[in-house]
């Protein structure tokens, strides 16, 4: 009676094989990441110093620090955020809370998903055509940031829409039944309970904008400029483009320097993601239902 | 609990239904469909001021659809079509350009309690704030009065700042009722409010409803026929989207029916 049938034993063996396969896939995923981070830390670590972070490059980029690139990346990301967050959040609110479920809305949603899949070099060329030339922004922080904003807009929209839709419909109905308008409902109930997801999307966008090279290389980034940008109409250095340039376009750059830039860049991205994750965990702990 | 057959709340100081005055709700040839599938067809009846009007019937009989049509929640439901006339206080609900103003005059209580994810106080102060009441003292008064009338004040008066969504199911349902009352509605719609509530709390809420009848008009959708018997002045029996019968509750429960399906349902022989 109480013995395993052959069928039981077979299920058990299959289960063990499946678990091993999934575990190996996970290991295969983690190992390259560890190798990259370890290599960067070992080879680039010695280059990191206050002087490296806070002085401009010297001697045809073969010595000195990364200050203009670091500051330039911050400019690019902040301006991109200022452009994409208001538009993205507003569009997501419209799509999630107001738009009727019809062919047009579904087409727009599909277009947003497709926009997320467009290669960044295509966004770059769009940025050159639209912002640099057509709107006459020239190669500038403004043009580069707007290009980054267009590229990251789908991330903001999708993250916002998903966090809005995570708020139970019953809350909305309860408000509507009390005579609240859609906007009153959004402002008093929906947004306060979805802000965590929206902020997470925004932070993810920051890390993505900081790391992208293609969208800024033709629109506003420059290889070498010692001055810090004074306005959004200036060109600027940026970490990602600086890395690309000294690694492939410039000879005589010490390896340590290249790895140092890569280490700073990946640290910024990882830091942003860590902030995003801990923020999400924190806000989830405040969740009210 | 009192099972006094004609139990339609013969409490003292009770203003009974005003059958002589023009009705509060007039329903004429109401037809509701979802994407072509009919949910309620050609229903006509009146509900009078200070009346508790019961609606009984098995699932899918169109009871909830009727309530949704009353406050034009149908506007927000894709694919829900409403035809026919519904007048509240003589005014066709379709004539309200500002549907939010119409809804603010109608309190609704759902089958499952929905405590909004805000404090108990803010839950009850929500509708008054929508009306533009800002003064703390005034809001305090409304909150205490509504919670008291919903038989919840004593249980929550020391924790008005705790989350409404963390109260127990029965407390949340009374919170929902307090919230509906805070709208100072002329009409209160209850949709199977006792589904998630224990029997003792149900009886307390029923007592509250009997008292409220002297101030407003109540439409009570219920799938507990005994609840209709305890509360309703008149009761309508909906079946498969049609109005089978409507009559004084005591008559229906004494077997004075025009359609034998009504007594079959009341006696629990189907549904």
- Average pLDDT on A217-242 reads 84
- Residue B165's closest chain A neighbor by CA? A289
CA-to-CA distance for B225 and B3, rounded, in angstroms?
12
Residues B17-59 pLDDT 10s:
888 888 999 999 999 999 888 999 989 999 999 999 999 988 8
Q: Is A180 on the interface with B (CB under 8 A)?
A: yes
- Average pLDDT on B106-125 reads 89
Q: Is A176 on the interface with B (CB under 8 A)?
A: yes
CA-to-CA distance for A131 and B83, rounded, in angstroms?
52
A257, A63 Cβ separation under 8 angstroms: yes
Residues A204-228 pLDDT 10s:
888 888 888 888 888 888 878 877 8
Residue A56 has pLDDT above 90, yes or no: no
User: How far, CA to CA in Å, does A146 sit from each of A92, A117, A123, A213?
Assistant: 19, 18, 10, 14
Q: What is the pLDDT of residue B181?
A: 92
Residue B245 CB coordination number (10 Å): 20
Share above pLDDT 70 across residues of chain A, in percent, rounded to a whole number: 99
Residue A55 has pLDDT above 80, yes or no: yes
Cβ within 8 Å, pair B118-A288: yes
Q: Is B163 on the interface with A (CB under 8 A)?
A: yes
| Helix axes of A239-248 and A67-93: crossing angle, nearest 10 degrees | 130
Q: Is B133 on the interface with A (CB under 8 A)?
A: no
Cβ within 8 Å, pair A288-B100: no
> Higher model confidence: residue A136 or residue A189?
A189
pLDDT band at residue B2 using 50, 70 and 90 as cut-offs: very low
Q: Is A184 on the interface with B (CB under 8 A)?
A: yes
Of the candidates B239, B242, B208, B243, which has an alpha carbon nearest to the alpha carbon of residue B223? B239
CA-to-CA distance for A70 and B104, rounded, in angstroms?
55
CA A245 to chain centre: 22
Q: Using alpha carbons only, what angle is made at residue A59 by residues A55 and A65, rounded to the nearest 5 degrees?
A: 20
* Mean pLDDT of chain A, nearest integer: 88
Q: Is B270 on the interface with A (CB under 8 A)?
A: no
Q: What is the pLDDT of residue A282?
A: 83
Q: What is the pLDDT of residue A212?
A: 87
CA-to-CA distance for A43 and A35, rounded, in angstroms?
12
Residue A89 has pLDDT above 90, yes or no: yes
Sign of the dihedral through C-alpha A212, A216, A221, A223: positive
Share above pLDDT 90 across residues of chain A, in percent, rounded to a whole number: 34
Q: What is the pLDDT of residue B126?
A: 93
- Average pLDDT on A176-196 reads 90
Closest CB to A178: pick one of B112, B118, B183: B183
Residues B210-256 pLDDT 10s:
988 888 999 999 988 899 999 999 999 999 899 999 999 999 888 88
B142, B122 Cβ separation under 8 angstroms: no
* C-alpha distance across the termini of chain B, in Å: 25
Residue B8 has pLDDT above 70, yes or no: no
| Helix axes of A255-285 and A239-248: crossing angle, nearest 10 degrees | 150
Q: What is the DSSP string of B114-164?
A: ---SSBHHHHHHHHHHHTT---HHHHHHHHHHHHHHTT-HHHHTT-TTSBG
Q: What is the pLDDT of residue B14?
A: 55
- Residues in A closer than 8 angstroms to B108, CB to CB, are 177
| Helix axes of A255-285 and A6-44: crossing angle, nearest 10 degrees | 130
Q: What is the pLDDT of residue B271?
A: 55
- Residues in B closer than 8 angstroms to A174, CB to CB, are 110, 114, 116, 176, 179
Residue A288 has pLDDT above 80, yes or no: no
Q: Residue B173: helix, strand or coil by DSSP?
A: helix
CB proximity under 8 Å: A 187-226 to B: 188-189, 192-193
Q: Is A177 on the interface with B (CB under 8 A)?
A: yes
pLDDT band at residue B15 using 50, 70 and 90 as cut-offs: low
- Average pLDDT on B168-187 reads 90
Mutate to test the interface with A, among B117, B163, B180 (most CBs of A within 10 A): B117
CA-to-CA distance for A5 and A11, rounded, in angstroms?
10
Residue A225 CB coordination number (10 Å): 17
Q: What is the pLDDT of residue A206?
A: 82
| Helix axes of B169-182 and B199-212: crossing angle, nearest 10 degrees | 10
Closest CB to A176: pick one of B73, B78, B183: B73
- Average pLDDT on A34-51 reads 89
Alpha-carbon dihedral angle through residues A209, A215, A219, A224, given to the nearest 10 degrees: 70
- Average pLDDT on A128-135 reads 89
CA-to-CA distance for A104 and B166, rounded, in angstroms?
40
Mutate to test the interface with B, among A99, A172, A178 (most CBs of B within 10 A): A178
B55, B235 Cβ separation under 8 angstroms: yes
Q: How many helices (H) and strands (E) does chain B have?
A: 10, 10
Q: What is the pLDDT of residue B55?
A: 94
Residue A185 has pLDDT above 90, yes or no: yes
Q: What is the pLDDT of residue B13?
A: 47
- Residues in B closer than 8 angstroms to A188, CB to CB, are 126
Residue A136 has pLDDT above 80, yes or no: yes
CA-to-CA distance for A177 and A188, rounded, in angstroms?
14
Q: Specify the DSSP class assigned to residue B76.
A: G
Phi-psi region of A60 (alpha: psi -120 to 50; beta: other; left: phi over 0): left
- Average pLDDT on B255-261 reads 85
* C-alpha distance across the termini of chain A, in Å: 47
Closest CB to A100: pick one of B78, B163, B183: B78
- Cβ neighbors of A54 (< 8 A, separation 6 or more) are A65, A67
Residues A96-126 pLDDT 10s:
999 888 899 999 999 998 888 888 899 999 9
Strands of chain B, DSSP E: 25-34, 37-47, 52-56, 80-88, 91-92, 106-109, 187-191, 217-221, 234-239, 242-248
Of the candidates B161, B165, B172, B224, which has an alpha carbon nearest to the alpha carbon of residue B197? B172
CA-to-CA distance for B206 and B54, rounded, in angstroms?
13
Residues B134-147 pLDDT 10s:
999 999 999 999 99
Q: Is B102 on the interface with A (CB under 8 A)?
A: yes
Residues A64-73 pLDDT 10s:
888 888 888 8
A132, A138 Cβ separation under 8 angstroms: yes
- Angstroms from A216 CA to nearest CA on chain B: 43
CA-to-CA distance for B20 and A287, rounded, in angstroms?
52
Q: Is A284 on the interface with B (CB under 8 A)?
A: no
pLDDT band at residue A11 using 50, 70 and 90 as cut-offs: very high
Question: What CATH class is the domain A51-285?
Answer: mainly alpha
Q: Where are the alpha helices (DSSP H) in A60-139?
A: 67-93, 103-117, 120-127
Q: Is B64 on the interface with A (CB under 8 A)?
A: no
Q: What is the pLDDT of residue B56?
A: 92
Closest CB to B103: pick one of A100, A170, A179: A179
Cβ within 8 Å, pair B73-A180: no
ipTM of the complex model: 0.84
Q: What is the pLDDT of residue B1?
A: 37
Return the biggest CA–CA distance within chain B.
56
Cβ within 8 Å, pair A173-B114: yes
Cβ within 8 Å, pair A177-B103: yes
Size of interface A-B (CB pairs under 8 A): 63
């Amino acid at each position: 009676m109480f013995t395993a049938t052959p069928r039981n034993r077979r299920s058990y063996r299959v289960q063990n094989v499946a678990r091993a396969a999934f575990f190996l896939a996970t290991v295969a995923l983690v190992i390259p990441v560890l190798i990259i981070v370890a290599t960067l830390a070992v080879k680039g670590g010695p280059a990191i110093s206050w002087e490296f972070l806070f002085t401009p490059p010297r001697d045809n980029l073969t010595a000195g620090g990364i200050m203009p690139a670091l500051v330039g990346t911050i400019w690019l990301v902040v301006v991109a955020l200022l452009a994409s967050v208001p538009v993205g959040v507003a569009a997501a609110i419209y799509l999630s809370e107001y738009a009727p479920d019809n062919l047009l809305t579904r087409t727009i949603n599909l277009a947003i998903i497709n926009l997320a899949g467009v290669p960044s070099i295509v966004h770059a060329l769009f940025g050159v055509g639209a912002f640099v030339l057509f709107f006459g922004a020239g190669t500038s922080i403004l043009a580069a940031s707007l290009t980054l904003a267009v590229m990251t807009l789908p991330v903001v929209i999708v993250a916002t829409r998903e966090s809005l839709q995570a708020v139970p419909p019953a809350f909305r109905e309860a408000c509507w039944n009390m005579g609240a308008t859609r906007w009153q409902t959004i402002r008093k109930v929906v947004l306060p309970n979805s802000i965590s997801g929206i902020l997470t999307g925004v932070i993810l966008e920051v890390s993505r904008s900081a790391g992208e090279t293609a969208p800024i290389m033709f629109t506003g980034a420059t290889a070498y400029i010692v001055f810090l940008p004074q306005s959004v109409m200036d060109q600027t250095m940026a970490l990602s483009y600086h890395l690309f340039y000294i690694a492939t376009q410039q000879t005589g750059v010490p390896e340590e320097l290249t790895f140092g830039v890569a280490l700073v860049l990946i640290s910024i991205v990882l830091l942003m993601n860590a902030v995003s994750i801990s923020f999400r965990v924190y806000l989830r702990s405040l969740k009210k239902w | 609990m009192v099972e006094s057959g004609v139990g339609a709340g013969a409490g003292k100081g009770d203003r009974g239904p005003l059958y002589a005055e023009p009705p509060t709700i007039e329903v004429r040839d109401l037809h509701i469909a979802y994407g072509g599938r009919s949910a309620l067809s050609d229903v006509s009846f009146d509900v009078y001021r200070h009346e508790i009007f019961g609606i009984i019937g098995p699932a899918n009989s169109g009871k909830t659809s009727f309530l949704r049509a009353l406050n034009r929640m149908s506007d927000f439901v894709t694919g829900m079509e409403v035809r026919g006339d519904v007048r509240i206080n003589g005014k066709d609900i379709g004539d309200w350009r500002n549907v939010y103003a119409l809804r603010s005059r109608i309190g609704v209580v759902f089958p499952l309690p929905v405590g909004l994810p805000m404090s108990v106080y803010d839950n009850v102060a929500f509708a008054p704030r929508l009306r533009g009441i800002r003064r703390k003292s005034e809001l305090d008064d409304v909150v205490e009065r509504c919670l008291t009338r919903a038989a919840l004040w004593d249980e929550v008066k020391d924790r008005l700042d705790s989350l409404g969504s963390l109260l127990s199911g029965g407390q949340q349902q009374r919170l929902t009722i307090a919230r509906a009352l805070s709208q100072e509605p002329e009409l209160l719609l209850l949709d199977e409010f006792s589904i998630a509530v224990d029997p003792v709390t149900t009886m307390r809420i029923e007592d509250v409803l009997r008292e409220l009848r002297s101030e407003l008009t109540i439409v009570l959708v219920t799938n507990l026929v005994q609840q209709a018997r305890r509360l309703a002045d008149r009761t309508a029996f909906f079946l498969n989207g049609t109005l089978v019968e409507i009559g004084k509750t005591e008559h229906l429960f004494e077997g004075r029916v025009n359609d034998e399906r009504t007594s079959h349902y009341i006696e629990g022989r189907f549904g």
